[in-house]
Amino acid sequence: MIALAEQVCRGAAAIIGLPAELKPDNPSAVLNPAPRVFIDMGEASLTRKGRLFALLKGEPGYQRQRMLVYERKLMVRVIIKEVNETALEKSLDGFLLALPRHLADEHNNLVKIQAERVEHGGYNPRLVEVFSRLEATLHLTFSGVLTRDKDVGMIGRVDIIPSIKRD
């Protein structure tokens, strides 16, 4: 799910016209000037489930059972850096509008994307600024499932042989 989250965030950043990259350990304003988008992958939580999730059409004579093994949630922080407040609000709104509500992962399972909150940061305008560091941190949650498919044989043919006994 990490690759999918990174792909979605990079795509949303491309729509608003900003370069996106994974957050380095120490992002400096000289090497990474604004405007820019940083993607910071957070922790993933897993919950074991183990139940029937879906019945799918399989090969002739078989039925495919999709078993839910885990539910998982991935926390992602997206840091949008801009040069002024107007551009920051425009980029933040554009990024939120570019995010899909849900999409399918590589196993065709639904992944929901939820924006949780936004934290605004940067320097106070009363301070002397060498580099403009206005930024907004957007907290996203990617929710999905981990499944396992199993083919189960079906009863292919039933022969009923009537036998009537007459006395």
162 domain residue, yes or no: no
Binning pLDDT at 50, 70 and 90, where does residue 127 land?
low
- Asked if 156 contacts 77 with a C-beta cutoff of 8 angstroms, the reply is no
Residue 66: inside a domain, yes or no? no
Q: How do residues 37-89 score in pLDDT, each as one tens digit? A: 889 999 999 999 989 988 888 788 888 899 999 999 999 999 998 888 888 89
- Residue 161 inside a domain? The answer is no
pLDDT, one tens digit per residue, over 108-126 is 889 999 999 998 876 555 5
Query: What is the span of the domain harbouring residue 40?
Result: 2-50+72-142
Domain-located, residue 147: no
Query: Is-contact 145 71, C-beta < 8 A?
Result: yes
Distance of CA 19 to the CA centre of its chain: 19
Contact 37, 20 (CB under 8 A): yes
> φ and ψ at 118, to 5 degrees?
-125, 135
Domain count, the chain: 1
In a domain, residue 63? The reply is no
DSSP-based helix, strand, coil % in the chain, nearest 5: 15, 50, 35
Q: How confident is the model at residue 11 (pLDDT cuts 50, 70, 90)?
A: very high
Indicate whether 132 pLDDT > 70: no
Taking CA 144 as the corner, what is the angle to CA 139 and CA 145, rounded to the nearest 5 degrees?
150
Whole-structure pTM value: 0.77
Residue 125 covered by a domain: yes
Spatial CB neighbours of 11, under 8 Å, sequence gap ≥ 6: 98
Residue 65 lies in a domain: no
pLDDT for res 99: 94
- CATH number for the domain harbouring residue 93: 3.30.2000.10
pLDDT value, residue 108:
86
Instruction: Say if 24 falls within a structural domain.
Output: yes
